Amino acid sequence: MKSVVTGAAGFIGSHLAERLLLEGHEVCGVDRFLPNYPRLFKERNLSCLAARPGFHFVEEDLLRVDLAKLLQGVSYVFHLAGQPGVRSSWGREFDQYTDNNILATQKLLEACKGKGIEKFVYASSSSVYGDTEDLPMREQSKPSPVSPYGVSKLAAEQLCYLYWKGFGIPTVSLRYFTVYGPRQRPDMFFHIFMRALLRNEEIPLYGDGTQSRDFTFCADIVEGTLAASAYPGSGEVFNLGGGSRATLLKVIEMLERISGKKARLKRTERQRGDVGHTEADLTRARERLGFLPRVALADGLAQEWDWMSKLPL
């Protein structure tokens, strides 16, 4: 069985491709190496895949690649590619979000028509919920994103639904909640924090640190994504969270204990588009996908710290 993973050189995409290979899939990984962070990190991610039997890599832009050829003989499409980042999605940068999150998704869906795809799994984001106090966040709640990034992810979700309703493409959208773990992007908070600890540098803390997130370990996200590909239903949306909601101040304490180092915090203003709290209601994912996060926050942070400690910084 053959699967396409877009964004295969990224943090989550490389973990997913690795797991699919272990499950016996032939995997075609696609990535255009967006310049949102250094290519070196993505090449390291790919190094875990390149020599494995059954893996083929295509360095291409989804807006320009021959999608008909790419999808030939493919049973599963895992669409993880996109332009990440809440804070960078404002102003002139939004063109990149419309191209890489909305238009690329539409073109990929369009190319899937008539291909006999068994499942099209789209990686969305908890950012679609916005800055709500109605916790936990439920799939049936009205999305109200407060960043252009969140708007672009919600638009792509709607495209997935439209192509299911209009053309029968069996789509499932997954709202990922703050994913962390080994290979995490260098622009994400845990990576920034751990790198600064290792270098004894100041660490930016946006806001007062009481904001909280539902942190999800990468291995749990992969399990939920695989479960979605096997789900018999279509046209639905699921939360994938870690069940490990904690404030940033609490996480900082945990990382200080794990690392044995004291953080040097540089407090700054809360950024536009940042939300106060996230927490996933996992009822639907548990009942329909059998999803149950297994990695506790402290254990997952320890694994990421171990990975970070071995990087050439």
Strand partners of residue 217: 180
- Tell me which of 76, 97, 122, 149 is the catalytic residue: 149
Closest CA to 125 of 10, 260, 240: 240
Closest CA to 115 of 81, 76, 79, 160: 76
DSSP state of 118: S
Residue that has been written with the tokens 């329909």 in this structure: 288
Beta-strand (E) ranges in 114-263?
Answer: 119-125, 171-176, 179-180, 202-206, 212-214, 216-217, 236-240, 245-247
Is the distance from CB of 252 to CB of 209 less than 8 angstroms?
Answer: yes
Residue-wise burial string across 232-260, b where 16 or more C-beta atoms lie within 10 A, e elsewhere: eebbbbbbbbbbbbbebeebbebbeebbe
- Alpha-carbon distance 92 to 173, whole Å? 27
- Close Cβ partners of 30 (under 8 Å, ≥ 6 residues apart): 4, 5, 6, 7, 8, 57, 58, 59, 60, 62, 65, 70, 81
Instruction: Report the DSSP pairing between strands 76-79 and 2-6.
Output: parallel
- Alpha-carbon distance 111 to 97, whole Å? 20
Q: Is 149 a catalytic residue?
A: yes
Structure tokens at 158: 């709607």
Q: Which residues are catalytic?
A: 149
